[in-house]
Amino acid sequence: MDTPRQPLHFAQDWPSLGLPAHVIEVLSAAPSLAVAETREELLDWALGRASGSTDWSPGNREDKGEFEAAFEVPGMGRVVEAVVTKARNGLAVNFPDPRMRRRDPDAMVIGDKLPTDKPTYTERFGESFDKTRQKTLDWLKTQDLVVVPFYAGPADLGYGALLICPRQAAFFAGALADLQGMIPGSQVPAGFKLSGGVIFIAPPFRHTHYDGKQVVVHSRCETHQEIYAYNLYPGPSAKKGVYSLLLDIGEREGWTTNHCAAVGVVTPYDNQLVIMHEGASGGGKSEMTEHIHRMEDGRLLIGKNVVTGEERTLVLPEACHLHPMADDMACAHPHYNEGQTKLAIRDAEAGWFVRVDHIKRYGTDPHLERLCLHPDRPLIFLNHYIVPGGQCLIWEHIEDAPGKPCTNPRVIIPRDMVEGIHTGPVQINIRSFGVRCPPTHKDSRQYGIVGMLHILSPALAWLWRLVAPRGHANPSIQDSKGMQSEGVGSYWAFATGRRVDQANLLLRQIVENTDTRHVLIPNQYIGAWKVGFMAEWVAREYLARRGSARFSREQLVESPCALLGYVPKQIKVEGSLIPPVFLHVGSQLEGGAEVYEDGARQWQEFFKRELTPFMTPDLDPLGRKIIQACLDDATQEDYWKLIPHQIFKG
């Protein structure tokens, strides 16, 4: 019988882990190396303090500590990258440069020579990354460092990874530890392998090399990926950078990590349905796990007409109970799906990066507000106004300019703090896809023609994941004008390889899991009606009460736009009918058939433009047939036949 191997103490035993030579050089040369045992240690270091020196009790009003994450930059002197403020309920992190308050969609650049469809370092900067990479490593050798061992994705998959970060920016280490989990320094498994990757943090280089912009360089090799992040906003590195590690692993091994939220929805009658909601940033993933927002009298405001000012409401005495399962990314590893015909996933994160731009006043989301105001441990807030020593309020957003609130305030919530959280793999009943739609009527002839709920064939569901519309007024990134694509899977911004490989993986995922059904749900606007995320919440209530997304032939009508699948003739929730204008957008008096046809044309042009680049020799033959069908203006029946699947009940 083998003797169990004792865990390692990273600070002492890291030379035995078989790390790459350049990582060993950095760790060996650094003046000091700190590896935390607890997250509170990281928060202490984030304030420039010694371990255990901060009273984190919520009643501590006297601690008004502030710390500047600042670095000496040649030619510029001391540059403050972030200000970390002690709040009664955690840390508030603010970035003096408004460009650092949200993810730049052009931040990623590929620093290796492996196959990729992304901009390479040589293409963008006119030289190889080798010289700057070495300068980065040399600079890190001069810094007091914080190292965080963690697993990329669920710990049971075992993809070991490291963060190497200047202690001056220890708040970043705290953010990563909350988002991805941390392995205490004395509990690193003896078999820990760097199969996930390494993240290096070097903020001064954004000034000396990149004109003050966000740049995150991804360098792949056969065994792992390395990420060189030159800014301190966690989005493109601690968050989406780790997503990139997982996509890279999955591309090598033949699986993917979906850009999604997942929730178990339990009706008042104790029936449960599991919904997985995908889409671009701002597409309603986090909102799928949120409780319904109610008016003061308890009714639901379904929508407000932007032309007439009319409001439509719904009385819902008791909403479904929610068991959140994932917030933004979930591993669909074959390990979770053996022998199943429904897609199985597991949350890829240890904490959730929750955007709270929609919370503008007290009482908007009592569950989230209560959790953030009175947490059982200090939280990390980003882009919030804070009085030193005061309470960080999630409706007090910092301003990008006078009178212009930041559109990307965030709070990191460890997943074990989420009420009703489900841990472990789960099978998916319904995959929904969310799209942000603009106001659409006679004076605004746009593409907001998507009704509250559309039923999609598997082939159409795959096409929506290829085109992945970023949609209207995306709050999470710096540039979101017009109808754009977030890229294949809605995670293309985080992938390092070729889009066709990801397209093939997603197609295989859909073909192998035909017992998982597919729907399409809009947010923000349905035609002339401002709905926010209410359409998503009402659709969730409806689908849970039905128990599936299978309908009889008499219950559905074909959408006039073939890309939108089928539409329920009517939706009834707890005895109340949803007004038909929210289902059949062409019937709205403010728009009508002509405006609807304009929107359908825009969708058709968008799909054809975005799908054409996938028609390469390496595309799966079935995928080629599906895309060609779209380019040839296929009918609903054409799409259903391409991936055989029972359309209706019976």
Structural domains present in the chain: 10-99+106-253 (3.40.449.10), 279-312+433-642 (3.90.228.20)
* pTM of this structure: 0.93
Please report which confidence band the pLDDT of residue 257 belongs to, taking 50, 70 and 90 as the band edges: very high
pLDDT of the residue at 478 = 44
pLDDT of the residue at 648 = 63
pLDDT of the residue at 53 = 94
187, pLDDT greater than 80: yes
pLDDT of the residue at 57 = 87
Name the more confident of 504 and 222.
504
340, pLDDT greater than 90: no
DSSP collapsed to 3 states, 516-563 = CEEEEEEEEEECCEEEECHHHHHHHHHHHHHCCCCCCHHHEEECCCHH
∠ CA 20-26-30, rounded to 5°: 150
Q: Using alpha carbons, list the distances in angstroms from residue 441 to 234, 524, 591.
A: 39, 14, 4
Q: Taking the CA atoms of the chain, what radius of gyration do you get in angstroms?
A: 25
Q: Which of 103, 95, 101, 64 shows the shortest CA–CA distance to 79?
A: 95
Neighbours of 451 (CB within 10 A): 26
pLDDT of the residue at 10 = 87
Q: Using alpha carbons, list the distances in angstroms from residue 383 to 408, 409, 459, 478.
A: 7, 5, 40, 15
> Could you identify the residue written with the tokens 């708040």?
171
pLDDT of the residue at 3 = 45
Q: How far apart are CA 334 and CA 257, in angstroms?
A: 11
pLDDT, averaged across the chain: 93
- pLDDT tens string 43-73: 999 999 999 999 998 878 889 999 999 999 9
- Tokens, residue 417: 């703090």
- pLDDT tens string 346-398: 999 999 999 898 899 998 888 899 999 999 999 999 999 999 889 999 999 99
Please report which confidence band the pLDDT of residue 480 belongs to, taking 50, 70 and 90 as the band edges: very low
Q: Which residues make Cβ contacts (< 8 Å) with residue 332, sequence separation at least 6?
A: 255, 256, 257, 258, 343, 344, 345, 509
> What is the DSSP-derived secondary structure letter of residue 137?
H
